[in-house]
Amino acid sequence: MERESILFTPFGIGGLTLSNRIIMAPTYLGYGHNDGTVSDLLLEHYKTMAASGAALIVVENTGIHPSGLGAPSMLRIDDDRYLKGLAGPAKVIRAEGALAFIQINHAGRYAFMPERMAPSPVPIGKATPREMTLEDIEHATAWFARAAARAQSAGFDGVELHGGTGYLLSQFLSPRTNRRTDGYGGTPQNRMRFPLEVVDAVMAAVGKGFPVGYRFIAEEFFPEGLHTDEAIPFAKELAKKGIAYLSVMVGTHESFALEPYATMEKDEGYMAGHAATIKKAVPTTPVITAGRIQSPATARAILEAGKADLIGLARVLFADPLWPKKARGLVSAPIVPCSPSCSLCTRRVMTGKPPFCSQWDKERRQAFLGRIGETGSPEL
Ligand SMILES: Cc1cc2nc3c(=O)[nH]c(=O)nc-3n(C[C@H](O)[C@H](O)[C@H](O)COP(=O)(O)O)c2cc1C
C-alpha cells in the first residue's frame, strides 16, 4: 500500500495542479458511435475511469479531419457539430474530480480509408498514400489548431497532440516515412518542422493558460526509422516551446510486432527507460511514462528514480479501474493485473467489437456483454 508514496503527491503541469501522479493514458476502445460521436457506453467508461482516483484522464485519440480517421468509430472533433457531444466526457470526468484532457490526431498513412495522405508515398499494406502538398500541410496545421480550440470550447482542461504510434505527426519526424526533398524533409530539422509548426498553431489557437501536451515517440525500432538520438533534439525543441508535458512512448503500428518491442512489451514499466532518457534531456519538462505499470511499487520506484514525473495507465486501468484507490489503501483488495499474455482488448478493438477485459470477473464480463447486446458466453 502506497498511501505515503510520492505517487500521491501533487504535481503541476502547464499551470494546473494534478492531485496525484497517476494519469489515464489515452486508450482508444471504439466505444463511440460509427459516425464519430460520443455514445452512452463511452460516457459510462470515462466516468468509471475518472472515478478510479487518477488525477488526469486523457480521452482517446480523436480525429481532427475526415481524411485522418484511424477507424470508423474514432471520436471526431473536426467540426463544431461535435462540440455538444464532446462536452459529455469532459463533464463526466470533471464531475469525478479528475482533470480532463483530450488527444487530437490525424492518422496520415494509417487512416482507414483507401485514399490517404502522408509526408511521402511510402506503402502501407496494399495502399500507397499520396504525398502531401504544401497546401495540405498548411491545411493540416489549421485542422490541428481548430480541433484544439474546440477541445477548449467543449470544456476540457487541456489538449494532447498525438505524436506517437506512427500517426501523421510522427510520420513527418521519421526518416522511414518522410522521404521529402523540400523544406519538410531530409534533415532532422526539416522533419521536425511540421510537428513544431502544429505546436505553434495549437498554442496560438488556445492561448496561454490552456496546457498543450505531446504524445512523444522516442524510438521506432526500424533500422531506417526514428531513433532516440534524433528524438532527443525534438524533445528539446518542444520543451523550448513550453509544452506542458511529454508522454513518452515507443513503437508504431508497424513496429509493434518487431523484436525487441514484442519482447520488452511484456515487461513491467517497459517504456520507463526511454522516458528516463527523454527526462534527462529535458529536465524541467514533465514526463509521463506508461507501459504495464502493474504495481504501485513499480510506479513509486520509477518516480523516485526520477525516470518520469507521472505514471500513465492504459490497459492496466482498464483491467482494474480501482488501481489508484487500491494503491492508496482506500479499497482493500488486491490489484487485478493486466495479463501480459492476453491481447483480448486489442483484438476486439481491431475487429470492431467493443472490448472487455479477460481479467474482469465473470459477472462483470456478463454484464458488459449484455450492455452491448452481444449474445454468447462471457467465457473466453
Ligand atoms: C487498445 C489500445 C488503445 C490505445 N489507444 C491509444 C490512443 O488512442 N492514443 C495513444 O496515444 N495511445 C494509445 N494506446 C497506448 C496506451 O496509451 C499505452 O501507451 C500503452 O497501452 C501502454 O500502457 P498499458 O500497458 O497500461 O496499456 C492504446 C493502447 C491500447 C492497448
- Cα of 292 from ligand 1 centre, angstroms: 10
Closest CA to 217 of 172, 263, 260: 172
Only one residue has cell 492476453, namely 342
Q: Report whether residue 321 contacts ligand 1, using a CB cutoff of 6 Å.
A: no
Q: Report whether residue 346 contacts ligand 1, using a CB cutoff of 6 Å.
A: yes
Altogether, the residues listed in the chain come to a count of 380
pTM, two decimal places: 0.98
- The β-bridge partners of 124 are 127
* 218: DSSP letter: -
State residue 379's pLDDT score: 63
Residues 45, 130 within the same domain: yes
The protein residue with its alpha carbon nearest to ligand 1, atom 31, reads 346
CB–CB of 29/75 below 8 Å?
no
State residue 260's pLDDT score: 85
- Whether 150 is covered by a domain: the verdict is yes
**φ and ψ of 282, to 5 deg:** -130, 70
Residues 333, 346 within the same domain: no
- Cα of 26 from ligand 1 centre, angstroms: 6
Please work out, in degrees rounded to the nearest 5, the angle formed at the alpha carbon of residue 194 by the alpha carbons of 209 and 155: 30
Residues 126, 250 within the same domain: yes
- State whether residue 215 is helix, strand or coil: strand
* 125: DSSP letter: T
- Whether 209 is covered by a domain: the verdict is yes
Where b means 16+ CB within 10 Å and e means fewer, 120-157 reads bebebeebebebbeeeebeebbebbbbbbbbbbebbbb
- Structural domain boundaries enclosing 357: 342-380
State residue 1's pLDDT score: 61
Residues 8-37: tens digit of each pLDDT: 999 999 999 999 999 999 999 999 999 999
Cell numbers at 184, concatenated: 519538410
The protein residue with its alpha carbon nearest to ligand 1, atom 19, reads 290
Q: How confident is the prediction along the chain (380 residues), in pLDDT tens digits per residue? A: 676 799 999 999 999 999 999 999 999 999 999 999 999 999 999 999 999 999 999 999 999 999 999 999 999 999 999 999 999 999 999 999 999 999 999 999 999 998 999 999 999 999 999 999 999 999 999 999 999 999 999 999 999 999 999 999 999 999 999 999 999 999 999 999 999 999 999 999 999 999 999 999 999 999 999 999 999 999 999 999 999 999 999 999 999 989 889 899 999 999 999 999 999 999 999 999 999 999 999 999 999 999 999 999 999 999 999 999 999 999 999 999 999 999 999 999 999 999 999 999 999 999 999 999 998 776 66
Q: Report whether residue 313 contacts ligand 1, using a CB cutoff of 6 Å.
A: yes
Ligand 1 atom closest to 103 (CA): 9
- Cα of 262 from ligand 1 centre, angstroms: 15
The protein residue with its alpha carbon nearest to ligand 1, atom 12, reads 26
- Whether 157 is covered by a domain: the verdict is yes
- Cα of 59 from ligand 1 centre, angstroms: 11
- Cα of 34 from ligand 1 centre, angstroms: 20
Residues 242, 350 within the same domain: no
Cell numbers at 5, concatenated: 508514496
Distance of alpha carbon 2 from alpha carbon 330, whole angstroms: 10
The protein residue with its alpha carbon nearest to ligand 1, atom 26, reads 314
State residue 67's pLDDT score: 98
The catalytic residues are 167
Distance of alpha carbon 264 from alpha carbon 292, whole angstroms: 10
State residue 380's pLDDT score: 65
- State whether residue 216 is helix, strand or coil: strand
Where b means 16+ CB within 10 Å and e means fewer, 25-58 reads bbbbbbbbbeebbbbebbbebbbebbbbbbbbbb
- Cα of 316 from ligand 1 centre, angstroms: 10
Describe the crossing of helices 83-95 and 40-50 by its angle, rounded to 10 degrees.
30
- Whether 1 is covered by a domain: the verdict is no
Ligand 1 atom closest to 60 (CA): 8
Residues 288, 362 within the same domain: no
Q: Report whether residue 307 contacts ligand 1, using a CB cutoff of 6 Å.
A: no
Q: Report whether residue 54 contacts ligand 1, using a CB cutoff of 6 Å.
A: no
Residues 205, 353 within the same domain: no
Single out the residue in 340, 355, 372 at which a domain terminates. Answer: 340
Q: Report whether residue 314 contacts ligand 1, using a CB cutoff of 6 Å.
A: yes
Residues 215, 360 within the same domain: no
Number of domains in the chain: 2
Residues 352, 210 within the same domain: no
Q: Report whether residue 275 contacts ligand 1, using a CB cutoff of 6 Å.
A: no
Residues 275, 367 within the same domain: no
> CB neighbours of 142 closer than 8 A, spacing ≥ 6?
201
- Whether 357 is covered by a domain: the verdict is yes
Q: Report whether residue 61 contacts ligand 1, using a CB cutoff of 6 Å.
A: yes
- Whether 309 is covered by a domain: the verdict is yes
- Whether 83 is covered by a domain: the verdict is yes
CATH assignment at residue 177: 3.20.20.70
Distance of alpha carbon 32 from alpha carbon 47, whole angstroms: 14
User: N- to C-terminal Cα distance for the chain?
Assistant: 31
Distance of alpha carbon 231 from alpha carbon 95, whole angstroms: 37
Residues 24, 79 within the same domain: yes
- Cα of 182 from ligand 1 centre, angstroms: 33
- Whether 189 is covered by a domain: the verdict is yes
- State whether residue 160 is helix, strand or coil: strand
214, 298, 315, best to mutate for ligand 1 pocket (most atoms within 8 Å of CB): 315
Residues 59, 124 within the same domain: yes
- Half-sphere exposure at residue 206, Cβ-oriented, CA atoms within 13 angstroms: 31
CB 229: neighbour CB atoms within 10 A? 10
* 53: DSSP letter: T
Residues 232, 365 within the same domain: no
State residue 259's pLDDT score: 87
